[in-house]
Structure 1
Amino acid sequence: MNYNVLSKYRGELMGLAILFVVMFHVYMPGTDFFYPLRRLGNVGVDMFLFVSGMGLWFSWTRSRLGRNLDGVGGMSAVPALKRFFSRRYLRIYPVWILVAAYFYVGKYVENPGGGYSPDVPNLIANVLFNWSFWRADDLTFWYVPATMMLYNFAPPYMELIRRQPAWRWLPVAFILLAAMVQYVPLFHDNVGHIEIFFSRIPIFFIGINFGEMVMDSRRMKKGSLGILLLVFAMSMWLCLRLEYIGHSRFPLFMERMVYIPLTISALLLECRLLSYMPRFVLRPLSFLGTISLEIYLIHIEYVLRPVARHHLGYGMTLFWTLLISIPAAYLLHWAVDRVVRLFRPRR
């Protein structure tokens, strides 16, 4: 198998990831036999970050080399950065501003000085970059500000490993940093409330590391399937075991560390399975991947919460949440895309 399958099935992988995230967010009693399996949907976030990091290597390399639609050869660092960030933020920020403004302004009008936005400056900061996540671990839409923060560090990291490949081991240091945030008082007392962010940093930069192998179409070594299956089985079993035992003995942080090998092995095995799937399966998954950001932003607050009030049970709640969220997300994606095109400079 070739590593470029991660790029070939990128849309389908993101479609699967958003399905996992929605499944994770739908409530299920902790006593349910399938509760640990439902909890594993949380790994969808790590899948998103890995695939996003991988895609950034493609984008940065092309911007850096000047392989753009204008056909311009060669590009200095400043134009490359400008092009890189404009493409990233034009995809995320317009949708974010619209949804965040509707949510945070609405909450502020309902409850001035409430927990989300104690005052107008905090309200503005919430709309701009979800300041309450960084300030007080407000997990509403947390993935978006976390991703935008990681984007800021991606170009220097990619330049570093391009010039000095030995620094590809830096994600190991990020694992240690996550452990320090969890267990060292100096770090935990100051930024421990956003441990959910620090524990996801390694998988993002590991995804960047994979980007070069994917872009160069490197083949996996003989016997890779066996080790992938072993790592997947071990990490899957351990995650399920941690849920059955409970986080009183094994903290959630430990589970998130196990997500790292689980994510990498699962994505590669999913690609192998997807290669056997018919197009009528691949196309819907790819479509979901295209609107995954919009599904993430609207499904909890605007669909899942109202549906959950009817107490339909896990299966029907998940069904109606997806049935409503998918067309709503597509309409949001379509509308924002049309507006962005009006302000995009003509070539």
Structure 2
Amino acid sequence: MIQFNVQDISEYRGQLMGIATLLVIFGHSVGNGVAMPRWMESLCGLSSVGVDIFLLVSGLGLWYSLTSLNGNNVQQGVRCWYLRRYKRILIPYLIIIGFHYTLSVLHGMPISQALFELSTLSYWVNHQGAWFIAMLIPVYALTPLHYRICNKVKSPVLYSSLLIAFMVVISALNYPVESTGCQMVIDNVKQVLYHLPSFLIGFMLAPFAKTGKKISYFWMSILPLALVAIMKVMQCGYWPEFLVLPFVAVCCPTFKYMGKIFFSVLNFLGKISLESYLLNVVVGTWIIWYLPNLYNSSMNKGCYLSYFIVCVVGTVLAYLIHFDVQQTVL
């Protein structure tokens, strides 16, 4: 039986992150007003798999980083781990989104609202702001505890599988309440729970990757696709999350036959994935604010030109910011 080498996820980490970046850019095109056929809009909806790829790879990477802390001074090591992880996400976030909200205040946004949205608390309350960062902050906070539990239980795979199943079920249930505000909070928490199984799966697969173990394509493709079909037919839960495993199972073997140029491009996009995501959200707004003549011109029919500028400017700025952040973090 053909088996999947889990170590490939670690080996092609940069390329998988690059694919995730491209999917996010494609998915944000509709939000930036890009005109396209309805079938392409439907595909944009599936591009959220890019988020799941990022979380899968991140879960695997965080397991590796926590494993390296075993030994003496673990408590001090965990503090350094927290510092490094949060610097990696919060420094580019504060540079990019902090600058954006500074411009927003100049365009009339109340300072209190700008600070509230910058804090990421606004996502949990009213779905405003960078939801991905709002999700990562508590996920990173709880990851060392999850790692410790995995080391304590007899079967980490069974424990993780039950936790994943619990999150899938909880996020699939409806919780109608009379209060609009409470309903918004519930829906926002559910959106995070939709994606967390991908992180937990990556964390669960990490020991297999380290030891070079292989797993059946049944677990990587057939079972996830069966779950997708069941959830889609029953119209419950976030079924695209389970597409991440068959998608990765196809991508990793494909990378082995990829040309060096394309391979390097994906690796580059993977390195700037976080900065690219943040800039992709805000550069379009800057164009509307400061280049209204271009945005409203006939040259920008369908918003193709403006979104092309978003992608180019976002990529260049992402590279520059990532380089500076790396110098700070390391």
* Same fold, judged at TM 0.5 (above): yes
Per the alignment, residue 175 of structure 2 pairs with: 183
Displacement after TM superposition at 1:286 (Å)? 0.4
Query: What do residues 185-228 of structure 1 show as CA deviations (whole Å, max 9, x unaligned)?
Result: 4996373241322222222212211111112211123xx2x664
Do the aligned residues in 1 keep the contact of 2:59 with 2:201 (CA within 8 Å)? yes
Are 1:126 and 2:129 counterparts? no
Displacement after TM superposition at 1:231 (Å)? 5.4
- State the identity as a percent: 23
2: CA distance, partners of 1:131 / 1:197? 14
| Aligned partner letter, 2:141 | N
Per the alignment, residue 69 of structure 1 pairs with: none
Per the alignment, residue 33 of structure 1 pairs with: 39
Query: What do residues 100-155 of structure 1 show as CA deviations (whole Å, max 9, x unaligned)?
Result: 22122332342243xxx6x2xx544433x3221122111x3211121122111111
- Is there any run of 5+ residues in structure 2 with no aligned partner, and where? 288-293
1:38 to 1:315, Cα distance in 2 relative to 1, 3 A: farther
Are 1:42 and 2:48 counterparts? yes
Per the alignment, residue 320 of structure 2 pairs with: 331
Query: What do residues 293-340 of structure 1 show as CA deviations (whole Å, max 9, x unaligned)?
Result: 1111112211476386553447656544332221121112123334x1
Deviates more, 1:261-270 or 1:9-18: 261-270
Give the secondary structure class of the aligned counterpart of 2:5: coil
Displacement after TM superposition at 1:233 (Å)? 6.2
RMSD: 3.0
1: CA distance, partners of 2:308 / 2:108? 32
Do the aligned residues in 2 keep the contact of 1:228 with 1:269 (CA within 8 Å)? no
Do the aligned residues in 2 keep the contact of 1:304 with 1:321 (CA within 8 Å)? no
| Aligned partner letter, 1:149 | P
| Aligned partner letter, 2:149 | L
Q: How does 1:240-259 map to 2 (within 5 A)?
A: 250=235, 254=237, 257-259=238-240
1:213 to 203, 208, 212: 208
Do the aligned residues in 1 keep the contact of 2:56 with 2:200 (CA within 8 Å)? yes
Query: What do residues 243-290 of structure 1 show as CA deviations (whole Å, max 9, x unaligned)?
Result: xxxxxx95xx73xx2122201111121111112212222111001000
2: CA distance, partners of 1:49 / 1:229? 18
Are 1:87 and 2:79 counterparts? no
Displacement after TM superposition at 1:234 (Å)? 6.0
Do the aligned residues in 1 keep the contact of 2:225 with 2:242 (CA within 8 Å)? no
Give the secondary structure class of the aligned counterpart of 1:199: helix
1: CA distance, partners of 2:55 / 2:117? 22
- Is there any run of 5+ residues in structure 1 with no aligned partner, and where? 66-73, 243-248
Per the alignment, residue 163 of structure 1 pairs with: 152
Do the aligned residues in 1 keep the contact of 2:104 with 2:114 (CA within 8 Å)? no
Q: How does 1:1-347 map to 2 (within 5 A)?
A: 1-27=4-30, 28=34, 32-63=38-69, 65=70, 74-113=71-110, 119=112, 123-127=114-118, 129-138=119-128, 140-164=129-153, 165=156, 166-168=158-160, 169-180=162-173, 182-183=174-175, 185=177, 189=183, 191-194=185-188, 195-221=190-216, 224=217, 228-230=220-222, 250=235, 254=237, 257-303=238-284, 306=287, 311-313=300-302, 319-338=308-327, 340=328
